Amino acid sequence: MSHPPYEIDQLISAKSIAARIEELAEEIRTRFKDTDKLVVVGLLRGSFVFIADLVRELDLPVEVDFLEASSYGDGMESSREVRILKDLRGEIQDRDVLVVEDIVDTGFTLDHVVTLLKSRKPKRLETIALLDKPSRREVDIKATWTGFDIPDEFVVGYGIDYGQRNRNLPFIGKVRFT
């Protein structure tokens, strides 16, 4: 699929992201200070960079697992139909779980994943999203922790892609079509 020409304007710097992750990690450490092991569940693929940086800041025993859910495909708009493409490898029953999402837009994906994982009876389940677009919300869900609220812009970078491109940018950028 070919995409129209576009440019990327920096929206959130790498330095701002790193500073915010340190703050978020402190809040997570406080919430889970009594855990014997925190299962950090990354929602692939957009959250992989965020997860890597976040778990390095957590001074807790952690296990990392991944779940891949899709509601976008290669497009720019949510299809509102969430499909699980890859499930967890481990069990989460009676375990402390932190779900890591790159961006909460309409809320359909996070809502679907939280409902699915709660049905597996974790001890505690909290959520964190690097980015939140509250103006786009169609489902009543909010992450426990949010890195940044952003306007209704199409963004890339720091793991987030457009047609499988731009995940490797060290910052969050706004896509501007030319």
pTM: 0.93
Three-class secondary structure of residue 142 per DSSP? coil
> pLDDT tens digits, residue range 152-166?
999 999 999 998 899
Integer Cα distance of 93 and 102 in angstroms:
24
Domain range summary for the chain, segments of one domain joined by +:
14-153
**What band does 4 get if pLDDT is binned at 50, 70 and 90?**
confident
Pick from 131, 167, 132, 174: nearest CA to 153:
174
pLDDT of residue 138: 94
Catalytic residue among 65, 74, 87, 105: 105
- At residue 160, what is the residue type? I
Instruction: Determine the Cα–Cα distance for residues 120 and 82; give it in Å rounded to an integer.
Output: 18
Nearest-5° Cα angle at 3, 44 to 81: 40
Per residue in 40-93, pLDDT (tens digit) is 999 999 999 999 999 999 999 999 999 998 775 555 555 567 889 999 999 999
CATH of domain 14-153: 3.40.50.2020
Residue 132 annotated in active site: no
